[in-house]
């Protein structure tokens, strides 16, 4: 297979995508013992050069924009522990990627398994 990848008429190499884009997987890879806020802070500290104050502002903004205020301090949960709902998990996965301010956000079936109201909020 061969070809070129272009963004805004600029040719990109395969390792350039991580610098400008993010990918939200269909099946999330969130830590079940974290809350959405803890996940966002973890991602920010790991993947950005923001200071603590900037992280607080960015996390607050993402929580608000994704409608996660009511569950922001609830554990994500998993197989053995109850946590946030499926729609809240999906929005948390999206927020985890948005923390880096990507120019492009690719989502693998972002609305599958969600009710129409939650799907509309994500879009």
pLDDT in tens, the chain (123 residues): 888 878 778 887 777 766 677 888 777 789 999 999 999 999 999 999 999 999 999 999 999 999 999 999 999 998 888 999 888 988 999 999 999 988 888 888 877 777 888 778 777
Question: How far apart are alpha carbons 111 and 123 in whole angstroms?
Answer: 8
Question: How far apart are alpha carbons 85 and 93 in whole angstroms?
Answer: 12
Give the pLDDT confidence score for residue 31 in this predicted structure: 93
Contact, 50 vs 44, CB < 8 A? yes
Give the pLDDT confidence score for residue 109 in this predicted structure: 80
Q: How far is CA 121 from the centre of its chain?
A: 14
Give the pLDDT confidence score for residue 77 in this predicted structure: 93
Residue of 123, 95, 81, 86 lying closest to 38 (CA atoms)? 95
Give the pLDDT confidence score for residue 117 in this predicted structure: 80
Domain 22-122 of CATH type 3.40.50.300: yes
Residue 103 has phi, psi (to 5 degrees) of -75, -30
Element (H, E) at 22: strand 21-24
Give the pLDDT confidence score for residue 18 in this predicted structure: 66
């Amino acid at each position: 297979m061969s070809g070129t990848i272009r963004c805004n008429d600029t040719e990109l190499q395969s390792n350039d995508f991580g610098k400008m884009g993010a990918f939200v997987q269909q099946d999330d890879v969130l830590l079940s013992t974290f809350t959405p806020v803890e996940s966002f802070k973890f991602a920010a500290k790991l993947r950005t050069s923001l200071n603590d104050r900037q992280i607080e502002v960015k996390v607050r903004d993402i929580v608000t924009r994704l409608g996660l205020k009511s569950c922001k301090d609830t554990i994500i949960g998993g197989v053995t522990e109850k946590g946030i709902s499926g729609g809240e998990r999906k929005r948390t996965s999206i927020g985890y990627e948005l923390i880096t301010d990507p120019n492009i956000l690719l989502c693998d079936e972002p609305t599958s398994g969600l009710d129409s109201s939650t799907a509309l909020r994500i879009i």
